[in-house]
Homo-oligomer: A and B are copies of this chain.
């Protein structure tokens, strides 16, 4: 039995009042699997190695709760993603809180099934480490190694922490080593804060990664960043990973390791919107940490940015992106 776009139109207020019953990511309909979908929304509540402030395990739950404020179309661009393709929330990838290795494995398998179903995954973490098992599922040949559009305060290219090779700070060192991502098509956006030493930065640059510090972003402007991304990515497959600590801590306190002076919400929106036309194969937003912002203001922002990318992904699916992309 096939699913149609009409089957998946989100139920909107006033048809059902916003505060009634449980919610879903982007207020999409809930499906058990990715079968028949174009875009699968997924939560990945993994939370092992966030040493500053744990709690990203509740990221998907809080994002779903704060989706109550969402409507189905983009008020500025006019894009109606749920009219363009088949989108649903397929729940959370299975995770354990005691079995790290098992969790990494089960996330990879879960996303493998999404890929097999022909859907694009749009995930919400959970700690940034989730990008590694997702990439293992998404960036297998011939698709991978993929290009990476990487919003973050930190490069996440440390070799290891205390001998541990897989954690929030090592993801893109591993992904390069495993041939999942192409360092020459890797653009970091928003890098800043403090560091132990410059080795992870030196390594990244030596691999050919483009490291845009927050100073670079301010210098280039959102449009300049968008141009740079398109130049680097070309038309080969691209994966987007948005560590929400890329945003300034003052506008996004709800994260494990906040850093003052980062990306503004507006710049983030404009850069995400500018990804239109890229060959997107999946994306994740991560490091939403509810205990660090019980007001939910950060979840509101996370949802808002995720909706920007959902619009772009929906246009990608419909193939209307390339024609109209205005860089």
Contacts and interface: CB of A to CB of B under 8 A. Distances in A.
Interface in A259-309: 259-261, 265-266, 269, 291-295, 297, 300-301, 304-305, 307
A43 B17 CA distance: 13
| Tally of this chain's copies | 6
Contacts of A197: 72-73, 80
A76 B192 contact: yes
A214 B261 contact: no
Interface string A129-173: 000000000000000000000000010000001111001000000
Contact of A94 (B16, B64, B94, B252): B16
Contact of A300 (B97, B191, B201, B258): B258
Interface stretch (A45-53, A177-185, A235-243, A317-325): A45-53
Contacts of A16: 94
- Chain A interface residue bracket vs B: 35 or more
Q: Which of A47, A97, A167 has the most CB of B within 10 A?
A: A97
Interface stretch (A20-28, A111-119, A226-234): A20-28
Interface string A200-212: 0100000000000
B69 A191 contact: no
